[in-house]
Structure 1
Amino acid sequence: MFEYRMHKVYEAELLREAAAQRLAGEARATRRNRRHTGHEAEGRVGHLRDLRDRFAHAA
């Protein structure tokens, strides 16, 4: 009976660890998706190279 209870404790520990790893993975994916979608919503950020091409140089 003791071995069975130890097996159940070990099984529960493995299930908790798997749930924690799954939650951590979901949090990483959420942060990664939020980071990428946030940039798309704001639009493209212009660079100096774009500004030189867009405006004529002063004489």
Structure 2
Amino acid sequence: MFEIELHRLRHDDLVRQAEAERRVREAVRVRRAARRGAAARGAEPESHTRRRSWFARTA
């Protein structure tokens, strides 16, 4: 009987863990889609892009 209870507890724990991982993946997917949508709508590039000028700025 004790083994069955341990099995059920482990099973429930795994189910909760899988659900949490699914929620995380869904949140990442939604955030990624929102960023793509914002980038498509906005004409200005983001301020944190790593593009730098190869030439020195003139005074």
With normalisation by structure 1, the TM-score equals 0.69
Task: Give me the whole-angstrom Cα distance separating, in 2, the residues matched to 1:39 and 1:10.
Answer: 43
Flag the structure with higher helix content. 1
User: Aligned with 1:19: secondary structure?
Assistant: helix
Tell me which residue corresponds to 2:13: 13
Structure 2 segments unaligned to the other structure (5+ residues): 46-59
User: Aligned with 1:9: secondary structure?
Assistant: helix
* Runs of 4+ in structure 1 over 2 Å off: none
Q: Which has the larger radius of gyration?
A: 1
> Deviation of residue 9 (structure 1)?
0.1
Structure 1 segments unaligned to the other structure (5+ residues): 47-59
Task: Give me the whole-angstrom Cα distance separating, in 1, the residues matched to 2:26 and 2:16.
Answer: 15
With normalisation by structure 2, the TM-score equals 0.69
Tell me which residue corresponds to 1:39: 39
Percent identity between matched residues is 31
User: Aligned with 2:34: secondary structure?
Assistant: helix
Question: Size of the alignment, in residue pairs?
Answer: 45
RMSD: 1.5
